[in-house]
Amino acid sequence: MKTSNCPRNQAGFSVVEVLIVVVIIMILAAFAVMQFGASAANLERQNVAREFKVNLERARFDSVKRRATGCADMSRVEITGPTTFQLVTDRDQNGTLNPATETTRVDFTAAGRVLIVDDPAPTYPIVFRFDQRGNVSSGSCGSETPADTPTTFCQVPCTAATASSNNASLIYVSPTGTVSMLAGGESIPSFSAPSVADMNSNANYLNPLLAVWDAPSNTTNTNTNTATPTPPSTPTNTGTNTNTTSPTPTPGFCISGQRPAQDNCICSNTQYLQGSRCRDAN
């Protein structure tokens, strides 16, 4: 039996080709791990900033609900360090604050990748205090100051100067207590005092039946009358009865949409009657 000596074709990979494939796989795996780590750190920072925002909103709601007027009785959030803050609210709902038993502390030191940064370095505690109208203030009671805002939550390594949308989240509190979450590096909105205009009392859109009056101040009569009261004299009947009829009040002008028959008013010269309702001509 004859055996052929012709060489056979054998397909395979060289050592160099295998090494190239292994290196590419390692690079892709390292890139995926880096992306996963960055995403986890980003999510961790956003969660801490969001928790701070929720605590501010809780403090504002608690003060408005209780109508807190005294500085010490206002609900507040205090930043006590670069990785800690605390919430003081009326948790037992008895109407007053007791910081010794009603303080909730949040410590994210264990996270290790999130810090509260500011430039220049702040002096702790930083207070966000809300009054009965929801307005925010800071500082100690008796020497209140505007709130130090925004608060920057940053992924380490990071500073207030290098904060950007990739590594930082900002929590901004407006003077009226509205809390918003912004991206790092985003411009902070500015608010000016609203303009107030006097309203003409003769304008057609005012209800003429509306009366504005100032309540008289309460006065205490400290005079003591020691005189002996004189009994009233016996009335004398003269036989003449005089009936006094109270005049019927003249109805005022209706505002647009009112019904004269039901609202005891009449249409003005600048109005017309449509479907039993007064309507403005212009």
Examine residue 157 and say whether the peptide bond preceding it is cis (omega within 30 degrees of 0): yes
In 3D space, the residue among 150, 148, 185, 145 whose CA is nearest the CA of residue 168 turns out to be 185
Please give the helix or strand (H or E) that residue 130 lies within, else none.
strand 126-130
Domain end among 129, 148, 167? 148
* Buried-exposed string 36-72: b where 16+ CB fall within 10 A, e elsewhere: eeeeebeebbeebbeebbebbebbbebbbebebeebe
State the pTM of this model.
0.59
DSSP states of 222-240: -----SPPPPPPPP---S-
Domain end among 98, 129, 148? 148
Q: Which two tokens stand for residue 194?
A: 């609203």
User: Does 51 have pLDDT greater than 80?
Assistant: yes
**Residue type for position 106:** V
Residue 224 placed within a domain: no
Report pLDDT digits (tens) over 225-247: 555 555 555 555 555 555 555 56
Residue 50 placed within a domain: yes
End-to-end CA distance of the chain: 119
Structural domain of 278: 252-282
**Beta strand pairing status for 271-274 and 265-266?**
unpaired
pLDDT the model gives residue 230:
58
CB count within 10 Å of CB 98 equals 12
pLDDT the model gives residue 213:
63
In 3D space, the residue among 151, 150, 182 whose CA is nearest the CA of residue 83 turns out to be 151
Residue 242 placed within a domain: no
What domain count does the chain have? 2
Residue 229 placed within a domain: no
Residue 9 placed within a domain: no
Report pLDDT digits (tens) over 79-114: 999 999 999 999 999 988 999 999 999 999 987 789
Query: CA–CA separation, 137 vs 157, rounded Å?
Result: 31
Q: What is the CA radius of gyration of the chain?
A: 38
Residue 272 placed within a domain: yes
Residue 186 placed within a domain: no
Residue 143 class from Cβ within 10 Å (0-12 exposed, 13-18 middle, 19+ buried)? exposed
Report pLDDT digits (tens) over 178-213: 999 999 888 888 777 667 677 665 656 566 666 666
Residue 13 placed within a domain: no
